[in-house]
Structure 1
Amino acid sequence: MFSKKKAIIIGGSISGKLAARILSDFFKEVVILERDKEPEGPFPRKGTRQGEHLHALLFAGQYGLEELFPGITEKFYSSGAVKINSTKDLAWFHHGVWKLRYAGEYTTTLQTRPHLEWHIEQYMKRIPNVSFHYNQDVKNYLYNVAENRVYGVEIKDSDHSIKSLTADLIVDASGADSLTTNWLTQRGITVPSEKIAIGLSYFSRLYHLPDSKNRDWMIKIIYPNPPHEKIGGTISKVEGERYIVTLLGYQNKIQEKEVLKSDNGFLELSKKLPKLDIYNEIKDGTPLTKTSVYRVPQINWKRFEKVEQLPNGLLLIGDTVCRLDPVFGQGMSIAVLEALALQKLLRDKNTLPKTATLFHKKVSQIISPIWNMVITEDFRYPGISGKKPISLKFQQWYTKNIFLLSSQNKTIYNSFINVMHLLKPTTILMHPRIIKRVLARFFLNK
């Protein structure tokens, strides 16, 4: 029995699909408005500019996704996704050292984002009260001033006609460039935000690699050691016996024109990484795609939970709220955690206005420790502007020791993995036995 009538989701992103999955249990009708055309398969789409680059689904996201879509993990594997042991099959060069490698208790799924997103969408299309409307460009909100309530949207259709749709709840899942912030600003409502300029660029290609008896990994990460190293990369096996290679540079370190001016530019860029491992893999490989570029000039956390006059009937989720540094691979998993938080609030049978208020506060609680982890690393580069945590210097010193000890101590590495994959809070890294090892390392190297 549905307690509410209709919900509209702006954006068929992963966060939009997840929100629709949750709302389908509580609303009689859920409509997803997507700007792109209907996909014909697991291929990159225009509206997801980051779709051609490496993505990760962390443990918390992977488990949550299976909870929301029972059986979807097996669907991934049966259509080619790669299942690996998370610590044995990962070779990770991080802050100048290689992490330990051993057969651990966790598994990870390696696949492209289009592959993952396609399977989610196919699952969603089997839910009878959810409908996708493609080629729909949301231009404005329908707004009742007297009630301070958003009650619908204005849409430009594929034939350029304008039409209106009304609903009990509007969910903005359209991403970092959504219309909501400007729309609120035009009404004199300020959205506080935290911005950090990182000047990040991604360059990616898919490859076929020749067989190699020396390839004892499924994914290899070469992370730059700040502040002097600014270029890194990852090579990962994905569905179709292919490998996706993503090279990245902070603070606009990579000259885009140099990379794109010739077919050899990507290979030459791979030589600039701290290790030549990725170059040595792809130099004899066959590129399957051209080089794709994705830029993240800044990360931005919009603090909607602090907006006192946020209209009723409006809920924000995913990158619409917070665009993180994608290098850390947390975006999709955060979207899953937000969806699960929304599910819990709706099960508690709160009114829609109260649900939205509580949800935005819960989203802030989910994002806050992750934002803090991310900017602790980003601020290792001098010249990056933005609000710095008071304890930044200590956090950077302490986490650096955790990173280095992860190449020697299995217990510490396991704790770090649980934090990185959003299974445990960062406070577990302050366990007395870990503090003792950090201090021992410090005094030994003093």
Structure 2
Amino acid sequence: MEKAVIIGAGISGKLAARVLSDHFQEVIILERDSETHGPYPRKGAPQGEHIHALLFAGANGLEELFPGITERFNVSGAVKINSTQDIAWFHHGVWKLRYEGDYTTILQTRPHLEWHIEQYIKSIPNVSIQYIQNVQNFLYNEIENRITGVEIINGSDSIRTINADLIVDASGVRSLSSRWLNKRDVHIPEEKVKIDLSYYTKTLQLPDNQNRDWSIKLVYPTPPFEKIGGGISKVEGNRYLVTFMGYHNEINEKEILKSDNGFIEIAKKLPRLDIYQELKDATALSSTSTFRVPNITWRRFDKVNNIPNGLLMIGDTICRIDPFFGQGMSIAILEALELKKLLVNQKHTNQKMIETFHQQAVKIISPIWNMVITEDFRYPDTIGKKPAGLSIQQWYAKKIFLLSSENKEIYNSFIKVMHLLRPTTTLMHPRIIKSVLKRTFTNNR
């Protein structure tokens, strides 16, 4: 195949470019932002300034797609930690167990991670990134129902077109594809859940403390009464990212933005004062960044009738998940690996490959979506379609969370599910069910 065009140079766009570069003579990424000259935040990724997590499945997949990238992260300042020893995690009113486990996690800023992926992409000869390119429209052959290219406005407001054999839309939740299809009265079934989540993040310098025995500390709210959570994570440059999040607009934005002290005072509203104790003598290194997620949305492109040929969606263009659970980047990586598998084993036409990819993306997203909304619906203000058996799922999940503070085997199983290494059915092992029932009956006496 000759040419592929990718809309959006975010993480999912770069991942798609890496995979397509093995199968197309030329891959062009079109990015509306200007080029960053270092690991710095960019306007088109407002979520990038907040705490990010790369789950185990995501980290493994990233290394498979970009061999050696983990070491690049580490030598350039990312913080490598033991995933169970170096994380202090307060969840549903209890602290998770802490012990020297078998897994490692890399703590770094999102711009740092994305910068290294971009440098790798730029070393691939048949991939190019064109910046300040605003894709306005698709080139469309109505007779064949085929997208044949894109129409672009660049920084000088001149219009040009690029023809391609495949268009990949990685432009995110406000994607061109969704708007274009809606204008043509092509119905996109979607699942939407209103969570009114807001994020506030600042980079800080913490005073030295010999007794600080963690690299990342998370204090989660216990629904439905607590709606504010927070995290503090060491990142490259011996800095700390501090993120507060509130469901259903619980955080007073004016209060948190008025001063550095106003930001730190929010820590007093967390279920524990541990993060406040770390911050009260901290020095702010940045202004406060804000990010809002009114709704999480899953567009079911797998169910769209008469979708044009030659158009593939990936990443947040398909599904924006609740970022509080840190699964977005890993979902994009798993999707890229699925795309790679389909291209390597391609026995069908290009269009059949696209349709199969959209169907396979459902298998990646569905269990994660269900896991996330099970938690989101613990708040009565959350609006959307509730999954079947919600109350039973919530009851069982809470038991698993509580047992993760005292039972190492169950916590290990929970970690593997949370990090997308094992299916959720892992937590239905007879031994785990027995522990859940034993805890329930013991506590009810």
TM-score interval w.r.t. the shorter chain? over 0.9
Whole-angstrom distance in 2 between the partners of 1:329 and 1:220 = 14
1:71 partner amino acid: G
Aligned partner (choices 148, 151, 154) of residue 148 of structure 2: 151
What residue in structure 2 maps to residue 424 of structure 1? 422
What residue in structure 2 maps to residue 254 of structure 1? 251
What residue in structure 1 maps to residue 391 of structure 2? 393
**1:64-75 → structure 2 map (5 Å cutoff):** 64-75=61-72
In structure 1, list runs of 5 or more residues that go unmatched. none
Q: Deviations over 1:372-427 (max 9, x none)?
A: 00000000001211000111000000000000000000000000000000000000
What residue in structure 1 maps to residue 43 of structure 2? 46
Whole-angstrom distance in 1 between the partners of 2:260 and 2:239 = 19
Q: Deviations over 1:338-392 (max 9, x none)?
A: 0000000001123210110000000011000000000000000012110001110
1:23 is the counterpart of 2:20: yes
What residue in structure 2 maps to residue 373 of structure 1? 371
What residue in structure 1 maps to residue 406 of structure 2? 408
Aligned partner (choices 307, 311, 314) of residue 310 of structure 1: 307
Whole-angstrom distance in 2 between the partners of 1:204 and 1:262 = 13
Residue 222 of structure 1, CA deviation: 0.2
Contact 2:260 2:284 in 1 (8 A): no
Residue 270 of structure 1, CA deviation: 1.2
1:298 is the counterpart of 2:295: yes
Whole-angstrom distance in 2 between the partners of 1:384 and 1:70 = 41
Count how many residue pairs are aligned between Structure 1 and Structure 2.
443
Q: Deviations over 1:272-329 (max 9, x none)?
A: 1111111111111111000100000010000000002111100000000000000000
Whole-angstrom distance in 2 between the partners of 1:188 and 1:36 = 30
Tell me the secondary structure at the aligned position of residue 264 of structure 1. Answer: helix
1:231 is the counterpart of 2:231: no
1:333 is the counterpart of 2:312: no
Tell me the secondary structure at the aligned position of residue 203 of structure 1. Answer: strand
Identify the range of structure 1 (257-266 vs 114-123) with the bigger mean alpha-carbon deviation: 257-266
**1:97-108 → structure 2 map (5 Å cutoff):** 97-108=94-105
Tell me the secondary structure at the aligned position of residue 217 of structure 2. Answer: strand
What residue in structure 1 maps to residue 434 of structure 2? 436
1:167 is the counterpart of 2:174: no
What residue in structure 2 maps to residue 214 of structure 1? 211
Tell me the secondary structure at the aligned position of residue 150 of structure 2. Answer: strand
Tell me the secondary structure at the aligned position of residue 50 of structure 1. Answer: helix
Tell me the secondary structure at the aligned position of residue 205 of structure 1. Answer: strand
Tell me the secondary structure at the aligned position of residue 366 of structure 2. Answer: helix
Whole-angstrom distance in 1 between the partners of 2:342 and 2:56 = 23
Q: Deviations over 1:187-208 (max 9, x none)?
A: 1210000000001000000011
What residue in structure 1 maps to residue 240 of structure 2? 243
Whole-angstrom distance in 1 between the partners of 2:196 and 2:381 = 11
Residue 10 of structure 1, CA deviation: 0.1
Aligned partner (choices 85, 106, 110) of residue 109 of structure 1: 106
Tell me the secondary structure at the aligned position of residue 215 of structure 1. Answer: coil
Give % identity: 67
2:428 partner amino acid: M
2:381 partner amino acid: G
Tell me the secondary structure at the aligned position of residue 102 of structure 2. Answer: coil
What residue in structure 2 maps to residue 10 of structure 1? 7
Q: Deviations over 1:259-278 (max 9, x none)?
A: 11223210111111111111
What residue in structure 2 maps to residue 351 of structure 1? 349
1:73 partner amino acid: T
What residue in structure 2 maps to residue 273 of structure 1? 270
2:392 partner amino acid: F
1:437 partner amino acid: S
1:118 partner amino acid: W
Q: Deviations over 1:81-120 (max 9, x none)?
A: 0000000000000000000000000000000000000000
Aligned partner (choices 78, 84, 89) of residue 75 of structure 2: 78
Whole-angstrom distance in 2 between the partners of 1:7 and 1:284 = 52
Whole-angstrom distance in 1 between the partners of 2:185 and 2:443 = 55
Tell me the secondary structure at the aligned position of residue 234 of structure 1. Answer: strand
Identify the range of structure 1 (99-108 vs 275-284) with the bigger mean alpha-carbon deviation: 275-284
Q: Deviations over 1:163-187 (max 9, x none)?
A: 1111000000000111111210111
2:289 partner amino acid: S
2:355 partner amino acid: T
Whole-angstrom distance in 1 between the partners of 2:215 and 2:17 = 33
Aligned partner (choices 300, 308, 316) of residue 319 of structure 1: 316
What residue in structure 2 maps to residue 142 of structure 1? 139
Tell me the secondary structure at the aligned position of residue 131 of structure 1. Answer: strand
Whole-angstrom distance in 2 between the partners of 1:380 and 1:236 = 26
Whole-angstrom distance in 1 between the partners of 2:335 and 2:56 = 15
In structure 2, list runs of 5 or more residues that go unmatched. none
**1:280-291 → structure 2 map (5 Å cutoff):** 280-291=277-288
Whole-angstrom distance in 2 between the partners of 1:143 and 1:277 = 57
Tell me the secondary structure at the aligned position of residue 25 of structure 2. Answer: strand
1:133 is the counterpart of 2:134: no
Whole-angstrom distance in 2 between the partners of 1:101 and 1:264 = 31
Ranges of 4+ aligned residues in structure 1 off by more than 4 Å:
none
Whole-angstrom distance in 1 between the partners of 2:168 and 2:23 = 14
Whole-angstrom distance in 2 between the partners of 1:260 and 1:27 = 47
Whole-angstrom distance in 2 between the partners of 1:236 and 1:262 = 21
**1:186-225 → structure 2 map (5 Å cutoff):** 186-225=183-222
TM-score with structure 1 setting the length: 0.99
